[in-house]
Amino acid sequence: MTAKRPAPETCDYAAVAHALRTHAEDYRREVHEQLFAQILPARDLFPMSAASAHQELVPALAWYFEQCAANAPVAHTEQHLADLAREHRRHGFPPQVYTTFVECLVSGLDTLELKPADATAAAARLHHLARVMADAAEAADLAGTAPAHRLHVVGVRRPNRQVGIVKLSAGLPTQFAPGQFFAVTTRHLPGTWRELYAAAPPTAAGELEFHIHATGPASQLLRAARVGDEWTVGSPRGEFAQGLHQHSSADGVYPVLLCFGTGWAPARAWLLGLVDAAVAAGQAPDIEASVYVVAPSPGHHYDVVVQENLAALNPDMRMYLLVDSAMDPQLLGAEPPVVEMDFEVSADPVSLMLERETTRGNRFILCGPSQRVAQAQAQLLAAGVDAVDIEAHPFDRAGLWELN
């Protein structure tokens, strides 16, 4: 009698993802120590503080294994990681670096104490993923796609002591979709990149506009930009309001945008892009949407002229400016208001929004600081909004790789 072959062991990819999220710092530290030892120039590409290096690494890998566990469409999953590889070309390494990098990723699995079968299967997946990313980076190189661009600051405005509006120009058209973000750095920030959303759609002159809230040393330095400064800007990433267009509600999906602080920037770019598209088509703009912009006080609302113009230009747009307090802090240093706008005081903007919007048939688009976006997302889910009807755009890139 012929003995039966044992059934092949399967991998618990969900367990691998959970271990990565649970031991994120240990894994990231181990991977980077090995990477820096094997590729000495890599050390200069990251901040001096190792704790700040490559924060997106572990969340992205955990997300990948979660997609494997859910048997998500392969093309969809790999496309996100291929986009990441193309964007990481800004560091200047050739695609061949993934051969070394994947060995560091696999070696780091020892910190997770996985079952042998899970560790073996996870290593195979990482090698496959490295090939996908290397191929994407190489294809971009062969296509002549620039890994980054040098732009010069052509305008700076500081509407209050916390926000800076910086305009840059490349002199040539820059291709991106309204609502995407860019990694940026300057010579004053060695090894440090900050991701910023473009606040306006593309222009023929290759101009970019960024709205910067000074929350830390790097963002404070970027806010302090001067005309003539040179910035390095990576490739655009992200997707915003996919499938929605000017007359979205005609298709049964109505956009409701909730923006916290400078989270207004990607929404602004998307809305202005819709206006430009309508004008180019010889049509009158008529964006059907509800827009809630939240700030601590009236003086923190730094773009009211554009907001008022958008509301006046689009009869079916409802624009709400919300504040936590009707009084500005004494040292805010806000510019005098150019136009009079109505502000509503609300300690709970999500609840206020839900009083006015239905929980079905809407696409809720959340933009801003990660903590505010996560809290708003949790409130919407608790109110019965389906997860597929919520689109989150947190400032923290690691937040893009959360559980589905």
We report the CATH number of the domain holding residue 19 as: 1.10.490.10
How large a percentage of the chain has pLDDT more than 70?
90
The lowest-confidence range among 29-43, 60-74, 308-322, 336-350 is: 29-43
pLDDT of 404 over the 50 cut: no
pLDDT given for residue 47 in this prediction:
54
Q: Which amino acid is at 294?
A: V
Q: CATH number for the domain including 160?
A: 2.40.30.10
Distance of alpha carbon 137 from alpha carbon 93, whole angstroms: 10
Residues 308 and 392 in one domain: yes
Nearest 5 degrees, angle CA 139-CA 143-CA 149? 105
242 inside domain? no
Sign of the torsion angle spanned by Cα atoms 34, 40, 45, 50: positive
pLDDT of residue 2: 45
User: If you average pLDDT over residues 133-145, what whole number do you get?
Assistant: 92
- pLDDT at site 341: 78
Sign of the C-alpha dihedral computed for residues 276, 394, 336 and 328 taken in this order: positive
What count of other Cβ atoms lies within 10 Å of the Cβ of residue 148? 19
Q: Write out pLDDT tens, residues 378-403.
A: 999 999 999 999 999 998 765 556 54
- Residue 4 belongs to a domain: no
Q: Which of 142, 162, 177 is the last residue of a domain?
A: 142
Is residue 136 situated within a structural domain?
yes
Name 125's Cβ contacts closer than 8 Å, sequence gap at least 6.
Answer: 11, 13, 64, 65, 68
What domain count does the chain have?
3
Domain residues for the domain of 309 are 248-401
Residue bearing the bigger pLDDT, 248 or 188: 188
Q: What is the CATH number of the domain that holds 376?
A: 3.40.50.80
Q: Is the pLDDT of residue 247 over 60?
A: no
Across residues 272-276, what is the average pLDDT? Answer: 95
Statement: residue 265 has pLDDT above 90: yes
Mean pLDDT of the residues in the chain = 88
Q: pLDDT at residue 360 above 90?
A: no
Question: Are the beta carbons of 222 and 164 closer than 8 angstroms?
Answer: yes
Q: Are residues 371 and 354 in the same domain?
A: yes
pLDDT value at position 3? Answer: 45
Q: Residue 397 carries which DSSP code? A: G
A 10 A CB-CB count for 328 gives 16
pLDDT digits (tens, 9 = 90+) for 49-64: 555 556 788 998 999 9
Mean pLDDT for the stretch of residues 338-346:
86
Phi, psi of 330 (to 5 degrees): -60, -35
Residues 114 and 174: their CA atoms lie apart, in Å, by: 45
Please give the helix or strand (H or E) that residue 196 lies within, else none: strand 194-197
Residue 137, SS3? Answer: helix
**pTM, to two decimals:** 0.83
User: Taking residues 192-212, what's their average pLDDT?
Assistant: 93
